[in-house]
Amino acid sequence: MIMHRMKIIQVCYITPQGGGIETYVTNLLNSLPKFGFDLGLIGLNPNYDPAKSGYDYIRITNKNNRYSYLFNLCLKTYFLRRSSQAIICTHRSDDMFPFILFHKRAPKICTLHGKTLENIRIKHPKIMAKIYGLIERFTLRRLSNNRNVTIAVDETTRRFYEQSYPWLKGKIMVIPSGINLERFKPMDKTKMQKKYGFNPLDKNIMFIGRLEKEKNLDFLIRTFRLLKESEKDVHLIFVGDGRERVSLANLVNRTGLEKYVTFLGAIRHQKIPELLNCASVLILCSEYEGSPTIVKEALACAVPVVSTNVGDVAKVIRNRFVGRIVERDEKRFAEAIIEMLHLDQERVKRECIAISKEFDFDNVAGRIAEIYKKLERC
């Protein structure tokens, strides 16, 4: 194996429950050593094990709080010396901001995982969105030279940023997210359902992700109420936590569905493959996404997906046996779920697994490794 002279430093705030970006970074840290890179992580990773992890780790904060993380990242980045001899890789514009200020000479890669500013506008006060917008504009302007690289995980994200910041036009490359096929694979469904306390006779409709406004989960509950009218043995399962949990639970109670809806709360990402194997259909009804990893992970576990047309989902759900892409209409969404429940399940399994193999994360890591090599030669 050829070892490369420059260190690759990933910058990320990884929570115990994980998420799309956290999974992406974790997969990078696991895959890139195969290409001979010396790796490091700056940020927060409560799952870090020095005996098992093949990378250096600089912890920024002990608190599971993003504001504390950002404050300490800015404070500590100023004193870092080694990053001047490293490629800095961030996955949000605000994470890159202190490196733009204090490590101007280091080559940098910023990966854009969807419309972060839109997300902040929905969930935070206007002043926070204004501050983030200024930081994003400042950061992306200074990333637009040949020494740096900007990546989007899907075409929709690329177009959004090129329209928002014209100087990025033609300078954003698209590399979709991938999945770990060693972890995400079909398992004994009945065994997994019993392990997590589900009735093996039920058909589990599952959502996995943050319980936040942009996920439109009140829409999912209303859709499930329609679904329940014709499918008596269905159960709705929410995996994840967030600011909308209380209001969603209240909506479930008002609609009389409390016996048929389960909130599992935040679950460590290591358990997600087993939970996916409890599902009959995965649901995604977001207003926007980047390249949602959970869709590809579901297919790898032979679970079809019903989704809104967000991010790069249309490039993943390519035939009627792996899922449906539906407009946000409760009746049509319910009908699409019913169709998926009554397809030939063996055919569904074969088609889902076949498509998922295209998204092996080693292929993604290989494309990113080529970018690192080019930056080393600059």
Question: Residue 250 carries which side chain, given as an amino acid letter?
Answer: N
131 half-sphere exposure, CB direction, 13 A CA radius = 7
Containing structural domain, residue 339: 189-359
Question: How many other C-beta atoms lie within 10 A of the C-beta of residue 67?
Answer: 10
pLDDT band at 344 (very low <50, low <70, confident <90, very high): very high
The token duo for 257 is 């569905």
Query: Are residue 308 and residue 367 in the same domain, yes or no?
Result: no
Report the CATH number that the domain containing residue 233 is assigned in CATH.
Answer: 3.40.50.2000
The span from the CA of 21 to the CA of 273, in Å, is 17
Q: What is the number of structural domains in the chain?
A: 2
Instruction: Give yes or no: residues 143 and 197 share one domain.
Output: no
Shared domain check, 265 and 153: no
Q: What is the pLDDT of residue 261?
A: 98
297 and 237 in a common domain: yes
Domain identity same for 89 and 138:
yes
Q: 84: which DSSP letter?
A: G
Grouping H, G, I as helix, E, B as strand and the rest as coil, residue 110 is strand
Average pLDDT, the chain: 92
CA proximity to 93, closest of 140, 128, 130, 131: 140
What pLDDT shows up at residue 275?
98
Cβ count within 10 A of residue 109: 21
Residues 67 and 196 in one domain: no
287, 310 Cβ separation under 8 angstroms: yes
- Would residue 45 count as lying in a domain? yes
Least confident of 20-29, 89-98, 351-360: 20-29
pLDDT in tens, 74-118: 998 888 765 557 899 999 999 999 999 999 889 999 999 988 888
The dihedral of CA 14, 18, 22, 27: what is its sign? positive
pLDDT band at 149 (very low <50, low <70, confident <90, very high): very high
Is the full-model pTM beyond 0.85?
yes
* Each residue's pLDDT tens digit, 213-254: 999 999 999 999 999 999 999 999 999 999 999 999 999 999
Which pLDDT belongs to residue 144? Answer: 86
Q: How many angstroms separate the CA atoms of 105 and 241, rounded?
A: 40
Q: Are residues 118 and 26 in the same domain?
A: yes
For the chain, state the CA radius of gyration. 21
| 201 shares a domain with 163 | no
Same-domain pairing of 73 and 211: no
Amino acid 147: pLDDT: 82
Same domain for 81 and 217: no
Please give the average per-residue pLDDT across 18-37, as a whole number: 89
Instruction: Quote helix, strand, coil % in the chain, to nearest 5.
Output: 45, 15, 35
The distance from CA 21 to its chain's CA centroid, rounded to whole angstroms, is: 5
Amino acid symbol at 233: D
**Lookup: tokens for 204:** 């589990």
- Angle in degrees, CA 308, 233, 271, rounded to 5: 65
Query: Could you identify the residue written with the tokens 């490590």?
Result: 103
Residues 151 and 242 placed together within one structural domain of the fold: no
Tell whether 2 is covered by a domain: no
One-letter amino acid for residue 185 of the chain: K
**Residue 313 within a domain:** yes
Q: Averaged over 299-310, what is the pLDDT?
A: 97
Same domain assignment for residues 129 and 224: no
Burial 133-142 (b: 16+ CB within 10 A, else e): eebbeebbee
Residue 184 falls inside a structural domain? no
Look-up of token digits 């992890």? 53
Greatest CA separation found in the chain?
63
